[in-house]
Structure 1
Amino acid sequence: MSRLPFYLIVGLLMVVGIGMSVHRHVQFEVPWTQGEQRTIWEVEAIIDFTALGDPVRVDLALPQHQRGYRLLTENTASPGYGLSFLQDETGRRAQWSIREAAGSQQLYYSARLLVTEDRRQRELPVPPLREVIWERPYDTAAAQVIERAWTRSADPYTFARELIHDFSEDRQGENARLLLTQFDRSTLLVRLLNQAGVPAREASGLLLEDGRRRQTLTPWIQVFAGEDNWSIFNPTTGQQGQPENLLLWESGGRAVLEVQGGTNSRVTFSMLSRNQPAAAAVRSQLADDTLLNFSIHSLPLEEQALFQTILLIPIGALVVVFLRIMVGIKTSGTFMPVLIALAFIQTTLPTGLIGFLLIVAVGLVIRNYLSYLNLLLVARVSAVIITVIAIISIFSVLSYRVGLNAGLTITFFPMIILAWTIERMSILWEEEGPKEVLIQGGGSLVTAVLAYLAMNNPWIRHITFNFLGVQLIIMSLILLLGNYTGYRLLELRRFKPVTED
């Protein structure tokens, strides 16, 4: 029979699992390691204005996901005002409204932004070229400035740089000084670029500096050189490219703040940066499940804690499969060591080992007595279960009385599994002797300890909880191990006499 379908299934599981994990790391920036730290910027915008006693409507441009920054959460404080978040082709805006307001007013908006490693440029629609109309003598000055910069440029970006440099202090001519008396620098540059056939628009950015208060937005110019090809320029220095600490607050060519029904409006910004674990920093965006972002972060915290343990079981199963198929260790029960390892996670390893040995040893003694009563299997196993419960209860009370609170944690042992383990070992003792009991019991204990060490590793706990694609990778590995038909490691000792001869 062809094994091709089997290997195709294994390969598909492996590729899908790796793809899901890599996508989750790249797209949602879930870290591979637990201890990674990420920088969070908390930015607060304060809007001040004087209301005139009439209906008031306030529009504020809002930041969004962009190169180097990802918006995590946002909050507002506006007592008595209605609030709506609007989205259109120019970007996001917050709109406050109230039927009547008078006197000094203050509105607050705060946002938490994650500094990301994603440096991909956001796609922006190319702004339309606006018809530029000049009055005399500004039309002649504008034409001469454009002609001078055009002859010394080769493309839209170099033209923009030359144009900005012509308005700098050291290269500023009479035409540039004349135009600056009538227009603001950034607005003037956009008009000149549009007249030269270069799409451009103004943008407002916030330079992030830790601990700064009452900061204002600075003007920037976005120059487009084709579809999905644009760059940002400093209108004062001509520097091309977005600085690392620049947060583009408004890039749609609209006003940052619009107030209807009020005067003397202004918006100022305060900012603060701090570091926190990367997993916690991106947790809010992981709650929005999609087909490619399937996770359990949208569940309540209690269920998340439960699944954090459940998702470790495949790791323990992989350890058991490897030790039984490749090494050849014998265990009492197939996956009993995995459940015992889960109990070790709750009890800690030393307490778990001592509790497991005490319960099994006392259970075997009592089970030996039950064998003389010639009970039926169901009744005998039920009696063993009750015995195990009694043993755990007695050990818990005794450990508490002598001040060993760690002994209370042995209640986490799976009682039904322990009862069946005692039953199997007792039957094995009667049929194969104490040697086989020690081999299988010792193998079970060694397997449980190794599974515990793998499942309790902080990095493995982080990977299994945050990357569900890992479960598919584990499945493919288990399928590959299940296809192995060669000798086990412990069976090689049978060939030792051959090597000696």
Structure 2
Amino acid sequence: MSPRVQVYIIAVLLALIGAGLTAYKHFELGFPLLPGEYRTVWTIEAKVGFVAEGGPVKAALTLPREQRNMEILGETFSSSGFGFYIARENDDYRAFWSRRLAKGSQSLFYQLDVYQRPGAPLAQPLDLSTQVQKPFLGAREQEAVRLAIYALVEQAREHSSDVESFTTQLLIELNNKDNQDRNLIFRHYADSSLVDVALLILATANIPAHRIRGLYLEDDRRRLAPEDLLEANDGKRWIVFEPTTGMPGVPENFFIWQRGGKSLLDLEGGHNSQVTFSVIANDVPSRDVSMRSTSRDGEALVDFSIYSLPIEQQSIFKLILLVPVGALVVVLLRVFVGLRTSGTFMPVLLAIAFIETQLLTGLAIFILILILGLWVRFYLSRLNLLLVSRIAAVVVTVVIIMAAISVISYKLGIEQALTVTFFPMIILAWTIERMSIVWEEDSPYEVVVQAGGSLLVAILAWWVMTNRYVEHWTFNFPELLLLLLALILVVGNYTGYRFSELMRFRPLVK
């Protein structure tokens, strides 16, 4: 197999790996492809209020669990003066507050951040592993009420074919105020809600069902009481119903707080207890949402990546990851255009310095140091020093020039010139030495050509490296560096004419 074929095979493999990892992070982990994308994160606060009676107090609040269409990003608890712990038993997830002595009005808070996944299967039922105890129709009910309940059951069965359609028909009739059987039942159960009555009738029809408590996510809502949905079992799955319409499926923007099980709040040693909710929407950068989500799941692609480093190191790598982009610009301009530069990748280092100093300031500082350094180098050449001593003397001179520029700019109030320290002084010293040799061996014209080419390439590299899309992709999708590597390998196989050579030989072609 020829080296050229091997290069293409390696390039294709690198490109596939890089593109595959990028697609996985975007579609599966939710990392945004474009900068500036935001997502709505809902902050829900539950307030438990009660009046303590002066003795021991214990409060237990049922907490929400993970759901298909909603993801809990974080949760916090506020329990000043109370002991606190969380207990998980079977499918119950409850927070407990306790205190030895408490008297008077008390308030406890639980807050969580929720993100609604886009395109989630809202219409599909949620899983429930435990069996729910069915309510039953007591023997003390009036005969007329019993007959009305059986009439509604028979009416719903007549117009349905399975549990789902039966429950839908039943809820439609329970919302029909012209139905006399329905009115009789609600007059007898005047203190019961629509879901309470529906549960009673479903139990009569031997259909397991339970209540779902939750709330609709709407911005800037306060002191909300939990709202109820109905969930019935058809023998194979649990199906959620909206009680006022009878439509199956979880309503959009509905956050399920509790499914069946125990009561929402249990209180010992107090009275007048209630749970109210407040909801507010926050626009959060998409990357932050993905980071919080993957950190909870322990995603290996994120856990063993640059994101696991401290913030200080992350900021350093944010700049380092731009170096391959600048290297690609140098490769393209040198291979296809034929620009001559002083050193192979010295323009990339200049571009990094321009990022920190701003372009115009960096150009002025670079040209000034270069001119002064060349003048000192020409003087040192007359002293017949050894190469190592001459370069070391140039390094010391460059440091003195950089210090002098910083002090003078500070006194003059030019703050941008203080960033002269970002220039790599060793590279500057070697560039000055190299250009002085080119001056002596070739001509001043060649020095101007190489210096101009270096500055042009550095400016183009700076322009690409400071692009907000490039900065976003290199930091959030470092896997794309494999694509850059593949492209550089392919470009390395190019053996055709450069653009500058075509311009050079144009008269010969004519």
The alignment's TM-score, normalised by the length of structure 2, stands at 0.88
Classify 1:152/1:331 alpha carbon distance in 2 versus 1 (closer, same or farther; 3 Å): same
Gaps of 5+ in 1: none
Q: 1:405-424 counterparts in 2 under 5 A? A: 405-424=415-434
Classify 1:67/1:420 alpha carbon distance in 2 versus 1 (closer, same or farther; 3 Å): same
What is the aligned partner in structure 1 of residue 170 from structure 2?
A: 163
What is the aligned partner in structure 2 of residue 270 from structure 1?
A: 278
d(CA) in 2 for partners of 1:244, 1:209: 11
TM superposition shift of 1:218: 0.4
TM superposition shift of 1:280: 4.4
What is the aligned partner in structure 1 of residue 379 from structure 2?
A: 369
| Equivalent position amino acid for 2:431 in 1 | T
Classify 1:16/1:62 alpha carbon distance in 2 versus 1 (closer, same or farther; 3 Å): farther
What is the aligned partner in structure 2 of residue 312 from structure 1?
A: 322
TM superposition shift of 1:455: 1.0
Q: Residue 134 of structure 1: which of 117, 123, 137 is its match?
A: 137
Contact 1:141/1:176 (<8 A) preserved: no
What is the aligned partner in structure 2 of residue 472 from structure 1?
A: 482
| Equivalent position amino acid for 2:481 in 1 | Q
Contact 2:57/2:268 (<8 A) preserved: yes
Indicate yes or no: 2:306 matched with 1:293: no
Q: 1:26-425 counterparts in 2 under 5 A? A: 26-87=27-88, 89-90=90-91, 92-121=93-122, 124-125=127-128, 128=131, 130=133, 133-136=136-139, 137=143, 141-170=148-177, 172-174=179-181, 177-178=184-185, 181-182=188-189, 184-190=193-199, 192-193=201-202, 196=205, 200-223=209-232, 231-251=239-259, 253-285=261-293, 287=295, 290-294=299-303, 295-425=305-435
TM superposition shift of 1:386: 0.6
TM superposition shift of 1:20: 2.4
Q: Residue 488 of structure 1: which of 475, 483, 498 is its match?
A: 498
Classify 1:134/1:199 alpha carbon distance in 2 versus 1 (closer, same or farther; 3 Å): closer
d(CA) in 1 for partners of 2:322, 2:300: 23
Classify 1:273/1:425 alpha carbon distance in 2 versus 1 (closer, same or farther; 3 Å): same
d(CA) in 2 for partners of 1:467, 1:197: 55
| Corresponding residue SS for 1:93 | strand
Root mean square deviation of aligned Cα: 2.9
TM superposition shift of 1:276: 4.0
TM superposition shift of 1:367: 1.0
Classify 1:256/1:382 alpha carbon distance in 2 versus 1 (closer, same or farther; 3 Å): same
Classify 1:23/1:461 alpha carbon distance in 2 versus 1 (closer, same or farther; 3 Å): same
TM superposition shift of 1:336: 1.3
TM superposition shift of 1:196: 4.8
Query: Mean alpha-carbon deviation: is it higher for 59-68 or for 410-419?
Result: 59-68
What is the aligned partner in structure 2 of residue 24 from structure 1?
A: 25
| Equivalent position amino acid for 2:155 in 1 | R
Gaps of 5+ in 2: none
Classify 1:77/1:479 alpha carbon distance in 2 versus 1 (closer, same or farther; 3 Å): same
| Equivalent position amino acid for 2:217 in 1 | L
d(CA) in 1 for partners of 2:62, 2:479: 38
| Corresponding residue SS for 1:166 | helix
TM superposition shift of 1:283: 4.7
Classify 1:279/1:290 alpha carbon distance in 2 versus 1 (closer, same or farther; 3 Å): closer
d(CA) in 2 for partners of 1:241, 1:9: 49
| Corresponding residue SS for 1:213 | strand
| Corresponding residue SS for 1:148 | helix
Classify 1:335/1:244 alpha carbon distance in 2 versus 1 (closer, same or farther; 3 Å): same
Query: Mean alpha-carbon deviation: is it higher for 49-58 or for 429-438?
Result: 49-58
TM superposition shift of 1:127: 5.3
What is the total number of aligned residue pairs between the two structures? 499
Contact 1:205/1:218 (<8 A) preserved: yes
Contact 1:43/1:269 (<8 A) preserved: yes
Contact 1:45/1:109 (<8 A) preserved: yes
d(CA) in 1 for partners of 2:7, 2:357: 40
| Equivalent position amino acid for 2:367 in 1 | L
d(CA) in 2 for partners of 1:296, 1:67: 29
Contact 1:150/1:159 (<8 A) preserved: yes
Q: Percent identity?
A: 42
| Corresponding residue SS for 1:292 | helix
